Amino acid sequence: MNIVILGGVAAGTKVAAKLMRQNRNNNVTIYTKSKDISYAGCGLPYHISGLIPDKDSLVVNTPEKFSMLTGVNVKTEMEAIKIDPNRKSVLFKDNTEVTYDKLIIATGATPIVPNIEGVDRSNVFTLRTVEDAVNIKRYIEEKSVKSAVIVGASFIGLEVAENIKAKGVNVTVADLADQVLPNLFDPDMAQYIKKQLIQKGIRVVNGAKLEEITDSGIKTTRGDITGEIVILALGVKPATDFLLDSGIELEKGAIVVDDQLRSNLDDIYAAGDCALVRSVLTGKRAYSAMGSTANITGRILAKALTGEDIKYRGCLSTAVLKLFDGLNAGRTGLTEKSAELEGFDAISVSLVVDDKAHYYPGSGNFVIKLVADKSSHKVLGVQVVGPGEVDKIVDTAVTAIYMGAKLEDLDSLDLSYAPPFSTAINPLVQASYVLENKINGVLDSFTPYEYMCGKAEGYQVIDVNNSPTIPGAKFVAFDKLEETFKDTPKDAKLLLVCARGRKSYLVQNRLKAMGFTATKSLEGGVNLNDVKIKFAGAIPPQEVRRVKALGCLQDKRYPDVFNVRIITRNGKITAEEQKTIWEACEKFGSGEITMTTRLTLEVQGVKYENIQPLIEFLNERGLSTGGTGSLVRPVVSCKGTTCQYGLADTFALSEKLHEKFYVGYHGVTLPHKFKIAVGGCPNNCVKPNLNDLGIVGQNVPVFDIQKCKGCKVCQVVNSCPIKVAKVVDGKLSVDPNECNNCSRCKGRCPFKVAEEYVPGYKVYVGGRWGKKIAHGIPLTRVITSEEELMDVVEKAILLFRDEGKSGERFADTVARLGFDYVNDKLLNSKIDKAAILNKDVKGGATC
């Protein structure tokens, strides 16, 4: 049998190889438009970051190797332009025409590129082939790209964002939809994912329709977004334009096939991204542009062609995504929203559960949303986010849905358990228990989406955490329920909120037993919901403390007005950022901006109710608030880069310090605040030695005294600004302990005594401004590499976290431990970073 296959990536190569294994007498030929076949399209983003350094490793088989292994003929760079079903022939762009007995179309899909101005610019890319990934990586590296815009917040867009961010590039993701991962996750889960992305330093702008690509970025309906490189990740469309006049039935460009992958025309089949499949749950036609679907349907097609009675059961749009280290997301089946649209009596539950035994090192949380049909209890879908193996939860749900399982069928599954791998009751099973309780009326709750939509309006928020957590809410201890609510009307609308949702359920159970009839538990608790209380009058102290940790300091003249600090990179911001801050100041504040001593900008006069809108406004535009609390503070530096005396590139160094220690350590609590300052030369314009850690640029002289002529008027002596250079017994003499390594004497000696210098950094530890001034003490060795400098700074922060006492400044820690001890620790010792970061540390900073 002469079988022609158009397309050679996933479906095409899978069906070809299986056909030959089924019957070696087949004559199978692949014709593909590309130079490559059988490449790992899903691995392309990871080549951009360098995680997969060798592009060739993404090519599973070369045409030659594939032919040798399978016996399939492979013809590359052959683009089909027309098929003739009557003559059973295919015409190619080079005018080659071939005939077939069976034709399999597996041409895949092509990226969607909008018809707008600027899409043909040299800095605009799509990602579909190995060559695309190589070109993006090369462009970023050769152009030293610092900012990127990803247009599209679906799976491929967010994967590209993660991998470009890993190269040290500032990334903005823009999408027309009002959420990330549209149609894949429900709005509440998408909102949780968006928050995690923002915390990881990704700027996310939703509701932004792309209008034009310019030389500086993109224009959207939400304003201009700057970026030196633009990646279009707007999805894909089936590569089927050449079939428009063929008579093959198409729907939205995809080939309509039956459950054996047959088209409407005799002897023509299709599989992969160019073809439709069916949904297991609805039976309706569906589009699943996934490598997994392509491989599965390719194998089924081959078996059906060789006589087996086999049918494709359909897909669930299952997908899993690594967003960042420590953040994964997965989904399968229907979202709650899509289930409702499909006519199901949809009901869901959202909960936060341990991903493994809570006491096991490295344990974390899963955020799970489980969707079922309320009347039949059939499982319809699951969405899960967390640092662990979310695919385990998704794949278990996939199996359940394929088997037509009800929630109760999950209850007693003998799933694997050991503390390093799971909880004793599997997280998905826990979710099914809770959803059963909800369906049966045992649990009365609001979902995070219902809370987002305002359904809890009119309910009194009751804080049932272990300790008061929600500012402005009524706190109730578990053992004081009867006493607290003895005089409360039994029909009072009470919204019970805890950390995750479990304790609020237990409280609700107790209150029901006491006769209360209108309580609601908030699913996911404060982990999944932004619980807000409207305050009448003065803001409670605990809420003042909470917003202060976000960089919002109360204006003592007013009960509800704050000044909000916006973080800069050592005082440097772009013109676009200036415009944003000005707009924020006008929109949310008093119209005035001040500058702090740590080079943050402070928006004055922000009313309490405007704090969160202001923060969200800034976050969407790549800016953040902060700079308070027991944390590493924003890094400040002098302008040594441009100063005539500058010895170090302070702008570049400060930005690296800012990124690694202010941003990278932003969740690490210290005994007190920790301030870092960088001076470009020993003039000490920003007083590095009055900070917890100060860095001063150095040029350590290596004097060639043998060349000294003992001149009566020594130019080195004359040029020394601090007068430590002298001529003693006819030779130049400079005490290295007194020299401040400013290099003003460089090149001054006509006999070349002062020509050679070693660049480096002097590090001061234990300085302090404020009520009790302390001058930092320099480490006993000048650091001569940036790599070692970053290591020393990190050691100092970790030493402070490990051995500092709550409430004491680093200067006090150094004095208590002794400088010699600290010096040795920072220059010579190793520090157990993981152990120190796992410690429980209480901060003592009050401002």
* H/E run at residue 695: strand 693-702
Residues 815/768, Cβ–Cβ less than 8 Å: no
Q: Which residues contact 461 (CB under 8 A, 6 or more apart)?
A: 470, 472, 473, 474, 495, 497, 531, 533
Are the beta carbons of 627 and 600 closer than 8 angstroms?
A: yes
Q: In 10 A of CB 366, how many CB atoms? A: 26
Structure-derived torsion over alpha carbons of residues 663, 669, 673, 679, reported in degrees to the nearest 10: -40
How many Å apart are CA 260 and CA 302, to the nearest integer?
9
Single out the catalytic residue among 42, 643, 685, 711.
42
42 in active site: yes
Rg (CA), the chain: 32
The residue with tokens 């200036």 is: 578
Spacing of C-alpha 631 from chain mean position: 22
Q: Please answer whether residues 291 and 42 qualify as being in contact, where contact means their C-beta atoms are separated by less than 8 angstroms.
A: yes
Q: Is the dihedral of CA 102, 248, 288, 113 positive or negative?
A: positive
The answer to whether residues 68 and 113 touch, using CB atoms and an 8 Å cutoff, is no
3-state secondary structure string, 84-131? Answer: ECCCCEEEECCCCEEECCEEEECCCEEECCCCCECCCCCCEEECCCHH
Question: How far apart (Å, rounded) are the C-alpha atoms in residues 415 and 406?
Answer: 17
Closest C-alpha among 14, 607, 621 to residue 303? 14
| 3-class DSSP string for 156-205 | HHHHHHHHHHCCCCEEEEEECCCCCCCCCCCHHHHHHHHHHHHHCCCEEE
Pairing outcome for strands 379-386 and 327-333: antiparallel
Contact 12, 60 (CB under 8 A): no
How far, in Å, CA of 282 to CA of 338, rounded?
Answer: 11
Among candidate residues 388, 322, 357, the one with its CA nearest the CA of residue 166:
322
3-state secondary structure 602-626: EEEEEEHHHHHHHHHHHHHCCCCEC
Strand locations in 397-547 (E): 445-446, 460-463, 474-475, 494-497, 519-522
Q: What is the largest CA-CA distance in the chain?
A: 107
Phi-psi region of 710 (alpha: psi -120 to 50; beta: other; left: phi over 0): left
**Are 639 and 569 in contact, with CB atoms under 8 Å apart?**
no
Between CA 722 and CA 729, with CA 726 as vertex, the angle to 5 degrees is 170
CB neighbours of 485 closer than 8 A, spacing ≥ 6?
476, 511, 514, 516
The 3-state DSSP class for residue 735 equals coil
CA triple 845-591-576, angle to 5 deg: 85
Place of tokens 């158009």: 6
Strands (E), 703-788: 725-728, 731-734, 756-765, 777-778
CA nearest neighbour of 103 among 38, 12, 177: 12
Give the residue carrying structure tokens 């491989």: 295
The span from the CA of 554 to the CA of 544, in Å, is 7
640/696 Cα distance (integer angstroms): 10
CA 586 to chain centre: 30
As annotated, the active-site residues are: 42
